[in-house]
Amino acid sequence: MNSRASAVELAAKRAHTKNHTVKDISTDEFAIQVFNQATIEKRLPREAYMNILNAQKGTETIKPEFADAIAIAMREWAVENGATHYTHWFQPLTGASAEKHESFIDWKTQDVGIEKFSGRELVQGEPDASSFPSGGLRTTYEARGYTGWDPSSPVFLWEAGDGMTLCIPSVFFSWTGDVLDNKIPLLRSDHMINQAALRLLRLTGSKATQVYSTLGWEQEYFVVDRALRDLRPDLLTLGTTVYGAPPPKGQELQDHYFGTVKDRVLAYMRDVENASLKLGIPVKTRHNEVAPAQHELAPVFEKASLAVDHNILLMELMRRIAIKHDLALLFHEKPFHDLNGSGKHNNWSLATDSGLNLLDPTDFPEKSTQFLILLTAIVHAFHRHSRLLRASIASAGNDKRLGGHEAPPAIISVYLGQQLEDLLNSLENDDEDFTSSKADMVDLGHLTLPEMSKDLTDRNRTSPFAFTGNKFEFRAVGSAQSCALPITAINVIVSESLNQILDEIEKLCASDTQPTPDQLANAAKPVLKRFLKESKAVRYAGDNYSKEWVAEAEKRGLANIPKSFDAFKALKDNAVVHAFKDVLTKDELSARHDILVEQYANLMNIESNLMLDIFRTQIFPAALEHQKKMAKSIKLASEVGGCDCKTLERSLRDFTELLQQCMNEVDKLEEFQTEAMAFDNLDKTAHFFAHTVNSQMGLTRELVDQLEMLIEDRLWPLPKYRELLFLI
């Protein structure tokens, strides 16, 4: 029995083995691994407790006189729960998290140890800044960097390696003050949106002292059996398949979406949920997604910066727990060719400290000048900075997903729904007679079934940025991506547009007193009308998947950027540099451009390496063996008198020609890859990978996948799609 057959047999046994070891946690255990408000209040003096509470809210910094007391309380709590080390947990520009563990143990004398953790160690750490992506901001001989405690995200205990580590969410920056992480820009962007939104609320007479962005992410993923994954170098290395013929059955029956979750996967989901809840991650929803072996997990909404942290944490949890269930987790945006890829929908809104959702249109949005101003600012921002938004979700993996029938295209547009679209049209046309309609009821035509209320508008799941009732859903974000950059970009550009609109409205109000609702509405109408007309092209309610939309978008002057390499350039645009002036410097934006370009080129190079290696070391030998067996069989048949072997001989010739074509295309792929890596300019390398090597990889795959459908099953070395997707 070969390795693939053994792995298939093992996976089949696992698929029918029920896991009874999962025990769901109680509500009392929620956030038990978090240094939460109740724990802080119990362990700290009142003044220190209030200081850390206000720091979490973003209204003050941690005072030096309280740092030691806070550190001691944290250490005692952590040690009581089994922790031996602490770490500053931060998010460098790799898109993942990073940590360096330090022991609590210090030495009082040469042979006497004590447990120690000071306020300085809590507040600041010092990792090597030159070993992380910096885009030229740091070099090998300029290594000093710092981590700083971010009190807005709670400290937590991380369980791994049969031990506990105290994790301190932190920011990361260089000795020169350059920003080297994803969190500092996100926090700064939240400050921007807070200032702009409070300005709006003051103008409209609404009471609030703080506004912050909220985020509810929807994490899609695939799980496959680990034994099968381990036999696929491509899945093992990149989390995607570089070769693979379509299975006899894929997702065409539409029977997997919201279908019954398999026992093995459900046990895994429960383990993930329990671990998440202990860390204070408020997971809420789980279900099957469209493709076989594809699933989704989603939490309730949180403050955006905390939601980003929780998503990074959850992804690592999911990877670790999958191993316990002999599963392999795939976060890649397109693990399987011709099947739906995975995204991470970002549901974005704005909330006040008093609990008001600023994107709630209320029953009569036409009467809410506050809502209309904010809505206009959002639409205008997406029109003005569509290239930036495309860059914020750009990656080599997401390129394979965007524009397919599971994800929006690379054209950024906004869907508002019929009611709001009609309302904005009425503003543009000075129509004073617009009145919101009430939601209809649906009579299901049976006595025992109650009437059901329906929403005022349908949901357009093809739109990259769709209004869904009281929030916007940014559907173009990739599943493997951190939410930080997309949310930062949205906060920044909406703040910019909102301030521009308010500048003009305030001039028209021209009064030291609070304008009345009518005065404000009259001052706002001409301003909103102009901004809406300027940005009308970005509003689209039709099918974003259609070819007609691509043509229509071009007529409207909207950017269509299929390749991420071309999208990254937006980070150097003067308009983007100006919008980000309070968040990132021009050099910091340029550094991010260079990092993204380098990552893109490296991933494409790895993918082409895998294609060359797998074909030459696994597929080609199997093809030769199959060819040899065919030739031997035909020779034996021809030796039997009266046997017409023309059809068999033709099939051998066809197979040999196909194999030769595959060899030629693989050789050509290697030539192109070598040419790409020979450039002394990273932009040229990435451009060549995006526009030449990528096309060659597609052509090579198309031919090699035909081999899989011809070679004897027992000879094929790689687990097939039907095994990966259905043996769970």
The structural domains of the chain, with segments of one domain joined by +, span 29-181, 189-437+454-574, 600-726
Predicted confidence at residue 5, as pLDDT, reads 85
Lowest mean pLDDT among 176-185, 615-624, 632-641: 632-641
Name which of 316, 225, 311 is nearest 264 in CA terms.
225
Question: Is it the case that residue 277 has pLDDT exceeding 80?
Answer: yes
Band (642; pLDDT cuts 50, 70, 90): low
Rounded to whole angstroms, the Cα distance separating 355 from 506 reads 26
Question: Is it the case that residue 70 has pLDDT exceeding 90?
Answer: yes
Average pLDDT over the chain, rounded to an integer = 91
Question: Is it the case that residue 723 has pLDDT exceeding 90?
Answer: yes
Rounded to whole angstroms, the Cα distance separating 316 from 305 reads 17
Band (271; pLDDT cuts 50, 70, 90): very high
Q: Provide the β-strand partners of residue 141.
A: none
Rounded to whole angstroms, the Cα distance separating 414 from 213 reads 19
Predicted confidence at residue 140, as pLDDT, reads 56
DSSP character at residue 154: -
Rounded to whole angstroms, the Cα distance separating 580 from 608 reads 36
Predicted confidence at residue 315, as pLDDT, reads 98
Query: Where on the phi/psi map is residue 286: left (φ > 0), alpha (ψ -120 to 50), or beta?
Result: beta
Predicted confidence at residue 303, as pLDDT, reads 97
Predicted confidence at residue 297, as pLDDT, reads 97
Question: Is it the case that residue 602 has pLDDT exceeding 80?
Answer: yes
H/E element holding 125? strand 124-125
DSSP per-residue string spanning 480-496: TS-SHHHHHHHHHHHHH
Name which of 283, 295, 220 is nearest 479 in CA terms.
220
What value does the mean pLDDT take over residues 86-115? 80
CB 218 within 8 Å of CB 344: yes
Rounded to whole angstroms, the Cα distance separating 255 from 261 reads 12
Predicted confidence at residue 128, as pLDDT, reads 64
681 by Cβ neighbours in 10 Å (0-12 / 13-18 / 19+) ranks as exposed
Q: How far is it between the farthest Cα atoms of the chain?
A: 108
Question: Is it the case that residue 399 has pLDDT exceeding 60?
Answer: yes
Question: Could you read off the pLDDT of 670-721 as tens digits, one per residue?
Answer: 999 999 999 999 999 999 999 999 999 999 999 999 999 999 999 999 999 9
Predicted confidence at residue 636, as pLDDT, reads 86
E-only strand ranges, 515-558 = none
Residue 132 backbone dihedrals phi, psi, to 5 degrees: -105, 160
Architecture of domain 600-726: Up-down Bundle (1.20)
Whole-angstrom CA distances from 78 to 52, 56, 336, 395, 405 are 17, 19, 43, 38, 48
The yes/no answer on whether domain 29-181 falls in CATH 3.10.20.70 is yes
* Structure tokens, 197: 């939104």
Predicted confidence at residue 447, as pLDDT, reads 66
Question: Is it the case that residue 94 has pLDDT exceeding 80?
Answer: yes
Comparing 128 with 260, which gets the higher pLDDT?
A: 260
DSSP per-residue string spanning 164-232: EEEEEEEEEEETT--B-BSHHHHHHHHHHHHHHHHHHHHHHT---S-EEEEEEEEEEEEEEEHHHHHT-
Predicted confidence at residue 503, as pLDDT, reads 96
24 by Cβ neighbours in 10 Å (0-12 / 13-18 / 19+) ranks as exposed
Other beta carbons less than 10 A from residue 160's beta carbon: 10
Band (107; pLDDT cuts 50, 70, 90): low
DSSP per-residue string spanning 661-706: HHHHHHHHHHHHHHHHHH-SSHHHHHHHIIIIIHHHHHHHHHHHHH
Predicted confidence at residue 135, as pLDDT, reads 57
CB 43 within 8 Å of CB 70: no
Question: Could you read off the pLDDT of 348-362 as tens digits, one per residue?
Answer: 999 999 999 999 998
Question: Is it the case that residue 113 has pLDDT exceeding 60?
Answer: no
Question: Is it the case that residue 236 has pLDDT exceeding 60?
Answer: yes
Question: Is it the case that residue 623 has pLDDT exceeding 60?
Answer: yes
Question: Is it the case that residue 438 has pLDDT exceeding 60?
Answer: yes
Band (58; pLDDT cuts 50, 70, 90): confident
Distance of CA 589 to the CA centre of its chain: 20
Predicted confidence at residue 162, as pLDDT, reads 87
Predicted confidence at residue 27, as pLDDT, reads 81
Return the exposure string of 127-149: e unless at least 16 CB atoms fall within 10 Å of the residue's CB, then b. Answer: bebbebbbbebbeeeeeebbbbb
Rounded to whole angstroms, the Cα distance separating 58 from 244 reads 50
CATH class of residue range 189-437+454-574: alpha beta
Rounded to whole angstroms, the Cα distance separating 218 from 300 reads 10
